[in-house]
C-alpha cells in the first residue's frame, strides 16, 4: 500500500465512511481544504451531512458504495467495522482503507503545533477552553472536539493558522496514531475495560501516547493525579495542580463558580473568573492555560478566553425550567465524573439535587458497579434509565434495575418516556435535575422541556 502521506496528497480522491460524525465531518473539511477530492457516506441525514454538501462534498445516506468505487483511499469511522457493506466493498476492490485516527495523525504533520488533549475525563471541556484562548490570541486554529462548542456553532473548526487543537481518545489506542507536539494528560482512571485489561495497561497506554511528543515539544499533566504521575515517571513535564508549575492561587468561590490568580512557575499571569462550576473545571482551566503558555500564548488571551467560555454541549448544559426546577444535561458517565459534577452542583445552593442517570455500556456498568452506586447515592433522588448498549450486546447479567436496587431511594424507570413522566411529577421549585450519561439520556431533558 502507498504511504498515508501519498494517499492524502492534493488531487487524490478520499471517501469517508461515517462522514456525518463530529470528527469525520471535520476531517472531510480539512482534507478538502488541502486539495483532495472528498466524498462521503453516512447512515442518516444530519446537519453535518447537509453542511458538507453545501461545501461541495457529496454525501450519500446508506452503504451502496455510490462514491466509494472511484476513491483512491477510504477512511472509516471507528463505528464502521468489518461487516459494514462499504468496508467490504473497499476490501473487495483493494482500495486502501484507513482508520480516522490514521488520517488525523497524518494531517497533524502539516501543523507547526499540534495540541492533543487526553484523559479519562474533561477532554471536551479542556479542548473547548483552549479553543477560546487560541481564538482570543488570533491564532486561527483548526479544532476537533467531541461535543458542540457554541463559539464554533458545532464540534470543529477549519482554520488557516499553524495550530491544531484536538481531543485524543484512548479507546482502542486510537490516539497512538496522532502526532502531538503538545500532549495534555488530564487524569487516568479505569475505563474502557472492554478493551484494556485493567488500570496498568491503561497507564501504559497513556505513557506510550506521551512518548509521541518530540524533544522540542511539551508534555503537560495533572500533578494531582497519582496514575498520571506513574505514567510519566522519567518524563520532562510541565505540571498543573496544587503545588506545581501551573496553579490556581487566591481562590474564591461564588455558588460553585471559581475565580483565582493563575500563576506559572511562581509568576502571576492572569486573573481568571470561570463561568462553569466545579473544582474539576479549575483543573481543566489550568490544563488549557498551561498548554497556551507552553505554545507562546500570552496571559491576557488566557484571561479573556477562559472568561468567555460558557461550556460545551452536554457538559452541564442548561435545558430549561420545569415546575420551578432547573434542568441541566451532562455527559458524565464514569463514577468519578458523576461525583465531580455532583460536588459542583451542591455548591450552587439548590433545595434538592435530583438525577436521571443512564449507564453507558454493560461492561462499564458491571466493572464499576459499586463505584456507580456510591457516586449516585449522593443525590437526593436518582432515577435509573435503561443501560445504553452502544456497541455491546446485552449479556443478561447486569441492568439498571439491579443498580437502582443498590442505591437507597433510587427508582428504576426504564425508557426515556417513562422516566420523563416519573420525574415531572417529582420536580418542585428550587430543585435542580441533572440528566446524565453518554448515550441518549438528553431525550429525557427534551421531553421535559421541549428543548
List own/partner pairs for 228-234 with CB under 8 A and 24 or more apart. 228/185, 228/186, 228/187, 228/188, 230/203, 231/185, 231/188, 231/203, 231/204, 231/206, 231/207, 232/185, 232/207
The sheet that has 59-61: what strands, in order across it?
Answer: 59-61, 37-42, 13-17, 73-76, 97-99
Would you say residue 388 has pLDDT above 90?
yes
The span from the CA of 449 to the CA of 451, in Å, is 5
> Using H for helix, E for strand and C for coil, what is the string for 215-241?
CCCEEEEECCCHHHHHHCCCCCEEEEC
Q: How many CA within 13 A on the CB side of residue 134?
A: 31
pLDDT in tens, 294-322: 999 999 999 999 999 999 988 899 999 99
pLDDT in tens, 257-306: 999 999 999 999 999 999 999 999 999 999 999 999 999 999 999 999 99
Number of CB atoms found within 10 A of residue 428's CB? 11
With contact defined as beta carbons under 8 Å apart, do 81 and 87 qualify? yes
Would you say residue 451 has pLDDT above 70?
no
- The three three-digit cell numbers of residue 362, written as one number: 454493560
With contact defined as beta carbons under 8 Å apart, do 52 and 40 qualify? yes
Q: Which residues pair with 61 in a beta bridge?
A: 42
The span from the CA of 330 to the CA of 151, in Å, is 19
Would you say residue 391 has pLDDT above 80?
no
pLDDT in tens, 414-447: 999 999 999 999 999 999 999 999 999 999 999 9
pLDDT in tens, 17-34: 999 987 898 899 889 988
Beta strands 325-330 and 431-436 are parallel
pLDDT value for 146: 82
Q: Following CA atoms 273, 330, 420, 322 in sequence, which dihedral angle do they give, to the nearest 10 degrees?
A: 10
Q: Which residues pair with 329 in a beta bridge?
A: 317, 435
pLDDT in tens, 156-179: 888 999 999 999 999 889 999 999
With contact defined as beta carbons under 8 Å apart, do 280 and 122 qualify? yes
N- to C-terminal Cα separation, the chain = 48
The sheet that has 142-149: what strands, in order across it?
Answer: 154-157, 142-149, 163-167, 113-118, 182-185, 218-222, 237-240, 246-254, 257-264, 267-273
Average of per-residue pLDDT values in the chain: 95
Amino acid at each position: 500500500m502507498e504511504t498515508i502521506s501519498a494517499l492524502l496528497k492534493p488531487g487524490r480522491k478520499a471517501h469517508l465512511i461515517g462522514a456525518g460524525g463530529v470528527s469525520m465531518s471535520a476531517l472531510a473539511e480539512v482534507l478538502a481544504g488541502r486539495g483532495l477530492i472528498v466524498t462521503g457516506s453516512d447512515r442518516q441525514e444530519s446537519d453535518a451531512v447537509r453542511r458538507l454538501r453545501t461545501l461541495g462534498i457529496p454525501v450519500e445516506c446508506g452503504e451502496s458504495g455510490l462514491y466509494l468505487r472511484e476513491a483512491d483511499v477510504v477512511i472509516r469511522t471507528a463505528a464502521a467495522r468489518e461487516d459494514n457493506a462499504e468496508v467490504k466493498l473497499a476490501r473487495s476492490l483493494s482500495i486502501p482503507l484507513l482508520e480516522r485516527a490514521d488520517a488525523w495523525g497524518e494531517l497533524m504533520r502539516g501543523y507547526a503545533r499540534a495540541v492533543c488533549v487526553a484523559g479519562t475525563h474533561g477532554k471536551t471541556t479542556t479542548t473547548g477552553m483552549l479553543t477560546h484562548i487560541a481564538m482570543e490570541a488570533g491564532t486561527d486554529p483548526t479544532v476537533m472536539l467531541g461535543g458542540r462548542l457554541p463559539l464554533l456553532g458545532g464540534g470543529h473548526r477549519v482554520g488557516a493558522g499553524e495550530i491544531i487543537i484536538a481531543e485524543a481518545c484512548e479507546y482502542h489506542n486510537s490516539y497512538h496514531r496522532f502526532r502531538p507536539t503538545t500532549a495534555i494528560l488530564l487524569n487516568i482512571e479505569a475505563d474502557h475495560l472492554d478493551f484494556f485489561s485493567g488500570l496498568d495497561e491503561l497507564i501504559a497506554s497513556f505513557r506510550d501516547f506521551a512518548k509521541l511528543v518530540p524533544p522540542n515539544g511539551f508534555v503537560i499533566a495533572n500533578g494531582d493525579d497519582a496514575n498520571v504521575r506513574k505514567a510519566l515517571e522519567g518524563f520532562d513535564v510541565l505540571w498543573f495542580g496544587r503545588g506545581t508549575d501551573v496553579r490556581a492561587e487566591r481562590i474564591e468561590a461564588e455558588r460553585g463558580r471559581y475565580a483565582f490568580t493563575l500563576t506559572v512557575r511562581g509568576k502571576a499571569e492572569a486573573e481568571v473568573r470561570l463561568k462553569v462550576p466545579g473544582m474539576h473545571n479549575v483543573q481543566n482551566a489550568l490544563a488549557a492555560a498551561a498548554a497556551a503558555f507552553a505554545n507562546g500564548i500570552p496571559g491576557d488571551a488566557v484571561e479573556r478566553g477562559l472568561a468567555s467560555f460558557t461550556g460545551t454541549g452536554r457538559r452541564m448544559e442548561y435545558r430549561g425550567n420545569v415546575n420551578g426546577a432547573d434542568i441541566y444535561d451532562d455527559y458524565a458517565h464514569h463514577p468519578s465524573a458523576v461525583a465531580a459534577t455532583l460536588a459542583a452542583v451542591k455548591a450552587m445552593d439548590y433545595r434538592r439535587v435530583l438525577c436521571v442517570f443512564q449507564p453507558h455500556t454493560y461492561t462499564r456498568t458491571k466493572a464499576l458497579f459499586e463505584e456507580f452506586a456510591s457516586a449516585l447515592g449522593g443525590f437526593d433522588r436518582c432515577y435509573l434509565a435503561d443501560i445504553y448498549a452502544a456497541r455491546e450486546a446485552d449479556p443478561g447479567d447486569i441492568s439498571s434495575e439491579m443498580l437502582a436496587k443498590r442505591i437507597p431511594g433510587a427508582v428504576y424507570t426504564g425508557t426515556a418516556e417513562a422516566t420523563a413522566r416519573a420525574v415531572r411529577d417529582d420536580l418542585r421549585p428550587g430543585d435542580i435535575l441533572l440528566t446524565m450519561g453518554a448515550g441518549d439520556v438528553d431525550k429525557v431533558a427534551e421531553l421535559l422541556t421541549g428543548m
